[in-house]
Amino acid sequence: MSNIILARNLSLTYDNEEKIISDATFSVRKGEFVFITGPSGSGKSTLLKSFYGNLKPVEGKLIMGGLDMLTITKPKLQELRTHLGIVFQDYRLINEWTVERNVVLPLWIAGYSKEVQATQAKRLLHHVKLSGKEHKYPLELSGGEQQRVGVARALAKNPFLILADEPTGNLDEYSSNVIWDLLENACQQLDTTVVVVTHRIPTIFNIPYKHLQIDSKGKVHEVH
Partner 1 sequence: MRFIKQHISIIFPLVAILLGLEFFIVFDRATKNYEESLRDGYAMLVVAKDEMSIDDFKAWDSHVYRVAEIEKESIVSRVDTTLNKDKVTTIHERMPNFYSIKLDSYLDDEGLEGVKQNFLKSDKVARVETFDTVHRSNYGLFSFIKFSFQTFIIFMSMLGFFLIIKQMEVWNYLHADRMKVMNIFGASLFLRSKVLINLAFIDAIISAMLASAIFYIIQNSWVRGSNIAILKDNIDKLFSAYDIFSLIMASIAIAMVAVFLVVINVKEE
Kindly list the residues in this chain that would bind Mg ion in the complex (CB under 5 A). Answer: 45
- Among positions 6, 7, 10, 20, the unique one binding ligand ATP when judged by CB under 6 A: 20
Q: Does 43 bind ligand ATP (CB under 6 A)?
A: yes
- Using CA atoms, how far apart are residues 80 and 188, in angstroms rounded to an integer? 22
Q: Does 58 bind partner 1 (CB under 8 A)?
A: no
Residues 127/152, Cβ–Cβ less than 8 Å: yes
The DSSP result for 148-210, as a single string, is HHHHHHHHTT--SEEEEESTTTT--HHHHHHHHHHHHHHHHHH--EEEEE-SS--SS--S--E
Kindly state the smallest distance separating residue 202's Cβ from partner 1, in Å: 26
Q: Does 50 bind ligand ATP (CB under 6 A)?
A: no
Give the CA radius of gyration of the chain: 17
Q: Does 189 bind ligand ATP (CB under 6 A)?
A: no
Residue 90 binding partner per list Mg ion, ligand ATP, partner 1, none, with a CB distance cut-off of 5 to 8 Å that depends on partner kind: none
Kindly state the smallest distance separating residue 92's Cβ from ligand ATP, in Å: 14
Spatial CB neighbours of 13, under 8 Å, sequence gap ≥ 6: 19, 20, 58
Q: Does 217 bind ligand ATP (CB under 6 A)?
A: no
Write out the residues near ligand ATP by the rule CB under 6 A.
14, 20, 38, 40-46, 89
